[in-house]
């Protein structure tokens, strides 16, 4: 008995020493840079489907650390404005509001805190740079639709790198002011490659949002990975480090359209951006990557239609989004069989042809047929309130383990970066 007790005491001493050492390591984790990557609309169902679509684990899978709750201040189901605000400010707000409390006061953001502490800052998105998620990090408006008022705030907040769509929200006078503030304006992929890293960058690659990844080859727009790489190239020159938010914004849009192929290809493009960020973090050793969607969109499911099966391989043959395919139909949609064969590889039945010809929105009929053939289910064209996975890599990544509130994410990042910031308010 004495031998057992002695052995136990030795084991306990070793174990507690290990825990103490681990705790010290966690406390001493040095986070100079944070890359916060947001696959908008992404949830566990998308992660599962993408794994089947890809045929192997995703790069994100090995970084999985926990989950987070997405509800807003006034609803169990958040929108991107309230979700983005929570992830940018550490505080809940009502749906539709951008970095503004339900009472109307402005909420300081982690990006603004990073800049106030001498760090470089950047926002990258495949939507408009003035859309809900990027806007929540560097502007304050009561209504997310006020993009024309968001645009000048991005410039006045002196965000070092702004890359995305939304040129129509930047007036000529605002673009002139941006240049006076030291921004170099770029409008296509080639110009982005030639930017000077010592100057601020305003990249506006489309009047509205960028093209879905499936259709991007028809444009001269950069990929999300291209934009992420250029943003890092610029921001890594900052002596005090940087905060960069990268959004794969059209996973959400694909969910709204119930377009599974659009979703898979934009997740693939997002994963390529993650690869760029991870390579930098591995080399730098002082960079934390956090990945978390802001909510689920579409009520996506792997399998459906009363069958114990999935047929995601169908998606690999589809060459365009449902919207693009619908645009190829003639006025009476009588060419639906030929168009669908060309862009999806599917041979339509007479019933499926009728569905496309009689649908109020041809793109939704196209997406429904593709989804059903792939045995992918959808419950809505809107958001849902399910919890969303959190991934992390780099120093401090263990701090994100378990079930978090979405408001916890920026609080933990700020603490790890040792930012002076009032996240404790209303906690």
State how far the Cα of 310 lies from the Cα of 299, in Å rounded to an integer.
16
For the chain, the farthest-separated pair of C-alpha atoms sits apart, in whole angstroms, at 89
Q: Are 356 and 365 in contact (CB under 8 A)?
A: yes
- Cα angle value 8/13/15 (rounded, 5°): 90
Pull the structure tokens for residue 85. 């605000």
Pull the structure tokens for residue 64. 């999985």
Q: Specify the 3-state DSSP secondary structure of 204.
A: strand
The pairing of strands 64-69 and 388-393 is antiparallel
Helix (H) or strand (E) holding 24: helix 2-28
State how far the Cα of 414 lies from the Cα of 421, in Å rounded to an integer.
7
Spot the catalytic one: 80, 206, 336, 371: 80
Q: Residue 95: CB partners within 8 Å, gap ≥ 6?
A: 72, 74, 75, 78, 79, 81, 82
Residue 114 bridge partners (DSSP): none
State how far the Cα of 320 lies from the Cα of 213, in Å rounded to an integer.
9
CA gyration radius, the chain: 23
State how far the Cα of 248 lies from the Cα of 124, in Å rounded to an integer.
9
Q: Residue 360: CB partners within 8 Å, gap ≥ 6?
A: none
Quick check: is 80 catalytic?
A: yes
Residue-wise burial string across 216-230, b where 16 or more C-beta atoms lie within 10 A, e elsewhere:
beeeebbbbbbbbbb
State how far the Cα of 383 lies from the Cα of 262, in Å rounded to an integer.
17
Residues noted as catalytic: 80
């Amino acid at each position: 008995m004495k031998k057992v007790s002695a052995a136990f005491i030795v084991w306990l001493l070793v174990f507690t020493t290990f825990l103490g050492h681990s705790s010290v390591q966690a406390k001493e984790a040095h986070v100079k840079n944070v890359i916060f990557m947001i696959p908008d609309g992404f949830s566990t169902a998308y992660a599962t489907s993408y794994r089947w679509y890809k045929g192997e684990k995703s790069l994100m899978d090995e970084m999985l650390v926990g989950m987070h709750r997405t509800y807003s201040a006034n609803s169990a189901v958040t929108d991107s404005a309230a979700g983005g605000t929570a992830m940018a400010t550490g505080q809940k707000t009502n749906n539709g509001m951008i970095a503004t409390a339900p009472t109307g006061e402005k909420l300081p953001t982690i990006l603004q805190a990073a800049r106030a502490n001498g760090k470089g800052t950047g926002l990258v998105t495949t939507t408009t740079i003035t859309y809900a998620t990027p806007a929540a990090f560097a502007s304050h408006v009561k209504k997310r639709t006020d993009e024309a008022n968001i645009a000048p705030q991005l410039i006045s907040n002196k965000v070092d790198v702004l890359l995305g769509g939304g040129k129509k929200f930047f007036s000529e006078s605002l673009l002139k002011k941006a240049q006076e503030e030291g921004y170099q304006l770029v409008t296509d992929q080639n110009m982005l490659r030639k930017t000077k890293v010592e100057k601020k960058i305003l990249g506006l690659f489309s009047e509205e949002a960028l093209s879905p990844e499936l259709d991007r080859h028809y444009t001269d727009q950069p990929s999300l990975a291209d934009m992420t790489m250029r943003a890092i190239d610029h921001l890594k020159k900052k002596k005090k480090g940087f905060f960069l938010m990268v959004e794969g914004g059209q996973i959400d849009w694909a969910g709204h359209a119930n377009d599974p192929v659009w979703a898979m290809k934009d997740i693939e493009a997002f994963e390529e951006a993650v690869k760029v960020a991870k390579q930098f973090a591995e080399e730098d050793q002082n960079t934390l990557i956090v990945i978390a969607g802001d909510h689920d969109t579409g009520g996506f499911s792997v399998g459906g239609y009363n069958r114990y099966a999935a047929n995601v391989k169908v998606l690999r043959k589809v060459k365009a989004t449902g919207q693009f395919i619908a645009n190829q139909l003639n006025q009476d949609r009588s060419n639906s069989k030929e168009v669908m064969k060309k862009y999806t590889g599917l041979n339509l039945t007479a019933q499926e042809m009728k569905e496309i010809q009689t649908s109020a929105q041809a793109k939704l009929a196209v997406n429904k047929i593709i989804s059903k053939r792939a045995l992918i289910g959808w419950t809505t064209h809107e958001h849902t309130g399910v919890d969303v996975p959190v991934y992390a890599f780099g120093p401090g990544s263990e701090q994100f383990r378990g079930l978090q509130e979405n408001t916890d994410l920026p609080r933990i990042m700020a603490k790890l970066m040792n930012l002076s910031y009032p996240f404790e308010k209303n906690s």
